[in-house]
Amino acid sequence: MKPVEMKDGVWWVGGIDWDLRNFHGYLTQRGTTYNSFLIMDEKIVLIDNVKHYLFEEMIERISHIINPAKIDYIVQNHVEMDHSGSLPEMKKIVPNATIITSPKGAEGLEKHYHSDWDYKVVKSGDTLNIGTRNLAFLLTPMVHWPDNMVTYCPDEKILFSNDAFGQHIASSERFDDEYPFNLIMEEARKYYANIVLPYAGPVNKALTAAAELDIEMIAPSHGILWRKHIPELMAKYHKWAANIAEEKAIIIYDTMWKSTEKMAYAIKSGFDEKGIPVKMCNLQANHISDIMTDLIDTKYICIGSSTLNNNILPTVAAFLTYMMGLAPKGRIGMAFGSYGWGGQSVGQIEVALTNCGFDLMKQHRLQYVPTKEQLQHITQSVIEELNNQEEK
Ligand code: FEO
């Protein structure tokens, strides 16, 4: 459990959560890390904590560098417990260390841990001299909670960005020039789609502020640290935050007796005819967080469900709830499904798509098992609608 020196006197001392697979609904198939950092200067600073069960791991890493009891400041960039869970144990070791956090951070920490800790509350533009270095603080509310802030060290040109620019990857490698770049970007994209997506406005503000900084390294609180591919990362964040949907389709469905699935493939044929790339996502085989990752830049979102007991299938309900929370904007939706007698599922999906603010394509709703002619009619209908859109 050794620390990793990022720059002279600046260390990664975080915890690696190799086995984590469920981050409140997000499939973290590569595990994750909770990154914390130690800056050795006249004052010793710990930036962020780790999840409670990795406290000993963090302490072991810090102990390779210094007695943890010598820490003077704890910068708590974010309240969420994956980054603050070890704070109560840490404070037992350093009762006199000052916690530096945002106004909402102090409020949130009090409401989590119910302790009488003293806080140094900072706002954007505040700085702290720690000897030969300075730290500057920038509040970044809603990236990811109201309390979030980032810490910048101009002397080292490191941005400690907390949740922003993270990825859920557990690895022995710490830097983006040590780990397969395509996998880092895949996980960064999944992270954005499943955590950051609803906060495009605050992300754009944070990107504008970050553009003013001279950055050589971005040290997020999850996953790999960025030092080689920062321009590529920034370009992707700008694109994702701009919410640019490409001419692509995704068909997400669950099916009881394959009738809804037949309809799904008939819809796919319509997109195929128009040369629009389309991805099929049976909810029995695809995790909702992976589907959201595809949805990040997909224009056409078609959702199908059979009707079960006057309702949509539970898998489809779960996906719709998840998607509504993440609130992708400016998409075109389509509802479809088969039914036996009630047939409520398609209308219920349309309500959800409307609540997302999507424009709607014509719905498709068929009783029992579709005929070949009915399926051809669906394909033709999709083609005609796409033709009409081209003419607009
Ligand atoms: Fe990684 Fe919002 O916590």
* DSSP secondary structure, 307-321, as one string: EETTEE-HHHHHHHH
Mean pLDDT of the 2-11 span = 98
Closest ligand 1 atom to Cα of 221: 1
157-168 mean pLDDT: 96
d(CA 16, CA 58): 9
Q: Which residues contact 12 (CB under 8 A, 6 or more apart)?
A: 3, 4, 5, 6, 35, 36, 37, 61, 174, 219, 225
Q: How far is the CA of 83 from the centre of ligand 1 (A)?
A: 7
Question: 80: CA distance to ligand 1 center in Å?
Answer: 5
**pLDDT value at residue 201:** 87
- In angstroms, what is the span from residue 321 Cα to ligand 1's centroid? 20
Q: Which residue, judged by its Cα, is nearest atom 1 of ligand 1?
A: 163
Residue 392 has pLDDT above 80, yes or no: no
- Give the number of the atom of ligand 1 that is nearest the alpha carbon of residue 195: 2
**What is the per-residue burial (b if ≥16 Cβ within 10 Å, else e) of 362-392?**
ebbbbeeebeeebbeebbebbbebbeeeeee
Q: Which of 210, 228, 206, 217 is nearest to 155 (CA)?
A: 217
Note whether 89 and 117 are within 8 A (CB).
no
Q: What separation, in Å, do the N-terminal and C-terminal C-alpha atoms of the chain show?
A: 61
Q: How confident is the model at residue 144 (pLDDT cuts 50, 70, 90)?
A: confident
Mean residue pLDDT of the chain comes to 96
pLDDT digits (tens, 9 = 90+) for 253-285: 999 999 999 999 999 999 999 999 999 999 999
Q: Give tens-digit pLDDT for 11-70.
A: 999 999 999 999 988 999 999 999 999 999 999 999 999 999 999 999 999 999 999 999
Ligand 1: list residues with CB < 6 Å: 78, 80, 82-83, 144-145, 163, 221-222
Q: Among 70, 86, 16, which residue's Cα sits nearest to residue 38? A: 70
Mean pLDDT of 135-164: 95
Q: For position 209, what pLDDT does the model report? A: 86
What separation in angstroms does the CA of 363 have from each of 178, 267, 291?
48, 11, 21
What average pLDDT score do residues 327-349 get? 95
Catalytic residue set: 24, 78, 80, 82, 144, 163, 191, 222
Closest among 343, 344, 335, 268 to 304, alpha carbons compared: 335
Q: Domains in the chain and their CATH numbers? A: 4-241 (3.60.15.10), 250-391 (3.40.50.360)
Cβ contact 298:331 at 8 Å: yes
Residue whose Cα lies nearest atom 3 of ligand 1: it is 80
- Percentage of residues of the chain with pLDDT beyond 70: 100
Cα 280 to chain centroid distance, Å, stands at: 22
What is the per-residue pLDDT across 64-91, written as a single tens digit (0 to 9) for each? Answer: 999 999 999 999 999 999 999 999 999 9
Distance from C-alpha of 207 to C-alpha of 221, rounded to nearest angstrom: 17
Count of Cβ atoms closer than 10 Å to residue 113 Cβ: 16
The burial class, CB within 10 Å (0-12 / 13-18 / 19+), for 116 is exposed
Residues 6+ apart with CB under 8 A from 279: 248, 249, 250, 251, 294, 298
Determine the distance separating the centroid of ligand 1 and the alpha carbon of 166, expressed in angstroms: 9
Torsion of the alpha carbons at 158, 159, 161 and 166, rounded to the nearest 10: -50
Is the pLDDT assigned to residue 202 strictly greater than 90? no
What letter represents residue 194's amino acid?
A: N
Cα–ligand 1 centroid distance for 295 (angstroms): 22
Which atom number of ligand 1 is nearest to the Cα of residue 145? 2
Residue 34 alpha carbon, nearest atom of ligand 1: 1
pLDDT at 391: 81
